[in-house]
Amino acid sequence: MDAVEKYMRRAFELAQLGLGTVSPNPLVGCVVVKNGKIIGEGYHQQFGGPHAEVDALNSIKDSSLVKGSQVIVSLEPCSHHGKTPPCADLIIGNEVGEVYLSNIDPNPLVAGKGVEKLRNAGITVNTGILEKEGSFINRRFFAQIIKKRPYIILKWAQTQDGFLARINNDSKWISDSYSRKIVHKWRAEEDAILVGTNTAFHDNPTLNVRDWSINKNQSQPVRVVVDKHLQLKNDLNLFQGAQPTICFNLKKNEISGNVEYVKLNDQDFLQSMLNELHSRNIQSIIIEGGAKTLESFIKNNLWDEARIFESQKRFVEGIASPKIEGSLISQNKLKDDTLSVFINNS
């Protein structure tokens, strides 16, 4: 099993290459092994494109090697016709000998049917290989299917003495330029970015990817702003350009250029907003602030992951950073900042 786990870790590496291009589909990597050697590998590269199994099998130059091989794939092969034919049928047609997978696909259209189809065809299927790691890689997809909402990432930078901004709401710049580049990388990997009214007004953010290159299969994230009473002026950066922007409010439904105003009820506002984003196939969202907005998500336990930069700067007084309870899964010293990542266990 050690060898299989090694190949599965390679499948995980491949799967993550699709981050930012396959949503709302899952991240999937696949490795094909024959006689202890990798003969092919691939991953799901973009939404609507070939699945990982197709990519891996197509990479094998000598098709005679496929019969009797082992397919190691991070997620259960699909069994239904979507934008592409069922991968389970492809595996069966190629007379693969054995399949190893990490996670069963929670999508009701699959949900064990792929495994059943393979076994009914006489193929040995082994499940649960590095299952916990596989679930984490596809945490966005699993939240979309199981929780029926986007995967929610809270992000903020705080001073060494625990402040998010100065008393006058000035927060530029707490983190250093290296940390800000990492944030742009994250923006390229997720579907949407959200800020509240105060942050939009005081910081006038652009909320796009500038300090990180995006490939031809990627697009700028959807910008989301909460402006319940439509106080923000139209000349703010997040309302400019072609990048789609959704403004959730209490007053109107309207489309104006690249901006869509979506009216919600004040009761259960956050949950209604997440329901709306889910209906638009937005699989993941970064909540970039400010303090009031971040705290509203924390108070309602509507978060999955928190990424917190702590700088060496001190403000002495200011707007306090949010307090969060979760499991610390990583902590890394960057250039001048420390990045801590927490996961919500509840």
Got the DSSP string for 51-111?
-HHHHHHHT-S-GGG-TT-EEEEEEPPP-S-SSS--HHHHHHHTT--EEEEEE---STTTT
Angstrom distance (rounded) from CA 96 to CA 93: 8
State whether 163 and 259 are in the same domain.
Answer: yes
Together in a domain, 295 and 280: yes
307 and 167 belong to one structural domain: yes
Q: What is the per-residue pLDDT across 297-333, written as a single tens digit (0 to 9) for each?
A: 999 999 999 999 999 888 888 888 999 999 999 999 9
Q: Would you state the pLDDT for residue 172? A: 62
- Give the residue, 56 or 111, on which the prediction is more confident: 56
Amino acid at 193: I
Options 41, 53, 190, 310, the catalytic residue: 53
98 is catalytic: no
Q: Is 192 helix (H, G, I), strand (E, B) or coil?
A: strand
Specify whether 115 is located in the same domain as 192. Answer: no
Number of domains in the chain: 2
- Name, in order, each residue with C-beta under 8 angstroms of 323's C-beta and a sequence gap of 6 or more: 298
Question: What confidence score (pLDDT) does residue 32 get?
Answer: 95
Same domain, yes or no, for 239 and 216?
A: yes
Domain boundary residue, one of 121, 143, 165: 143
Alpha helical stretches, state H, the chain: 2-15, 52-58, 87-93, 113-120, 131-137, 139-142, 177-189, 197-203, 269-279, 291-299
Domain boundary among 80, 111, 143: 143
Write out the residue range of the structural domain in which residue 74 sits. 2-143
Summarised one tens digit per residue, pLDDT across range 1-17 is 589 999 999 999 999 99
Whether 53 has a pLDDT exceeding 70, the answer reads yes
Residues 168 and 52 in one domain: no
Look at the chain and count its residues. Answer: 346
Query: The CATH number of the domain where 111 resides is what?
Result: 3.40.140.10
**Preceding amide of 50 cis, omega within 30:** no
**Residue range 282-293, pLDDT digits in tens:** 999 999 988 999
Compute the distance between CA of residue 19 and CA of residue 283 in angstroms, rounded to an integer: 11
The enclosing domain of 314 has a CATH number of: 3.40.430.10
Task: Give yes or no: residues 40 and 129 share one domain.
Answer: yes
Alpha carbons 66 and 91: distance in angstroms, whole number: 9
Residue 170 has a pLDDT of 66
* 301 and 162 within one domain: yes
- Please tell me the predicted confidence (pLDDT) of residue 212: 83
pLDDT average, residue stretch 222-234: 96
Mark whether 76 and 186 lie in a shared domain. no
Q: How far apart are CA 153 and CA 47, in angstroms?
A: 22
Residues 93 and 163 reside in one and the same domain: no
DSSP string of 306-335, one letter each residue: EEEEE-S---SSSEEPP----EEEEEEE-S
Averaged pLDDT score across all residues of the chain: 91
Both structure tokens of 179? 């940390």
Instruction: Quote the percentage of the chain above a pLDDT of 90.
Output: 69
State the Cα–Cα distance between residues 283 and 47, nearest whole angstrom.
Answer: 13
Question: What's residue 256's pLDDT?
Answer: 93
pLDDT tens, residue by residue, 177-186: 888 899 999 9
Tens-place pLDDT, residues 86-110: 788 888 888 889 999 999 999 887 7
- Residues 222 and 269 occupy one common structural domain: yes
Closest CA to 35 of 73, 10, 66, 58: 66
Choose among 135, 136, 99, 97: nearest CA to 116.
Answer: 99
Instruction: Write the pLDDT tens digit of every residue in 234-264.
Output: 999 999 988 999 999 999 999 999 999 999 9
* Residues 66 and 87 both lie in one domain: yes
pLDDT at 84: 65
Q: Of 143, 177, 197, which residue sits at a domain end?
A: 143
Q: Cα–Cα distance between 12 and 2 in angstroms, integer?
A: 15
DSSP code at position 145? I
pLDDT at position 75 is: 95
Q: Answer yes or no: is pLDDT of 83 > 70.
A: no
Query: What average pLDDT score do residues 199-228 get?
Result: 89
